[in-house]
Amino acid sequence: MTSLHDRTALITGGSKGIGRGIAAAMAAAGARVVVNYGHDRRAAEETVAAIGDRAVAVQGDVGDAADVRRMFDTAGPVDILVNNAAVFSFQPIGDVTEKEFRRQYDTNVLGPFLTIQEYLRQAPERGGSIINVTTAGVDTNNPGSALYTSTKAALTSLTRIAAQEFGPKGIRVNAIAPGATETEGAAALGVLDSGAMAARSVFGRAGTPADIGPVAVFLASEDARWITGEVVHASGGFR
């Protein structure tokens, strides 16, 4: 079994959905898990309770530099950073407001920049792993998704450039691109209700957080020591 023993993982947006699945999988692999959440304390506490004594919850807005520094100071030395926190909504380009644009870019792009910068400030000498959660939607050009997928396209670019910059420090940087996935956010927006998105997987179903967690564990582990700058499409063949 892949081991993350003696490693500490900080998962942003770790209280729900894909983040929760990654937190649970990393804890099961032996990591100490720090579950970051923005506002929903109850969900974070439920996630920590489900995982057990290998998990703690830390509140913080990833788009706020002071919050990010406090998160890392509270977490202690972090070996594995998972940038999962994201917000999204879908509308035609002409309907996107400046307020919504800034909301998504502040969380989905500025957030990972700030967390990566803070990670570097206290990066472990033994090297480490950064995993960014993007989306397979970057490659599918769905109408109405320009704002959200453009934030994830930016994160994909950040992944590849960071891998080049941080390689000499022994830090690997990769991304996971899920397809349609059953999460609280997807349910709230009804994006899976028609079944059309699930049907775009070759397996005829939407993914689950449990499908994504083991991929993150692999990328964080020594088994992936020769992998950096890559985007793993954990999407069930979503096209």
Catalytic residues: 148
Alpha-carbon distance of 103 to 109, in angstroms, equals 10
**Backbone torsions φ then ψ of 207, nearest 5 degrees:** -75, 170
What is the C-alpha to C-alpha distance for residues 51 and 9, in angstroms, rounded to an integer?
13
CA distance 24 to 144: 32
Q: What phi and psi values does residue 33 have, to the nearest 5 degrees?
A: -115, 130
Residue with the two structure tokens 């998160």: 71
134: tokens are 């993007």
Nearest residue to 17 (alpha-carbon basis) of 234, 210, 205? 210
The Cα–Cα gap between 90 and 186 comes to 11
Cα 42 versus chain centre, distance: 20
Q: How far apart are CA 176 and CA 22, in angstroms?
A: 11
Token pair for 100: 């919504």
Q: Is the dihedral of CA 194, 197, 203, 209 positive or negative?
A: negative
Q: Provide the angle, in degrees to the nearest 10, between the axes of the packed helices 146-166 and 98-105.
A: 30
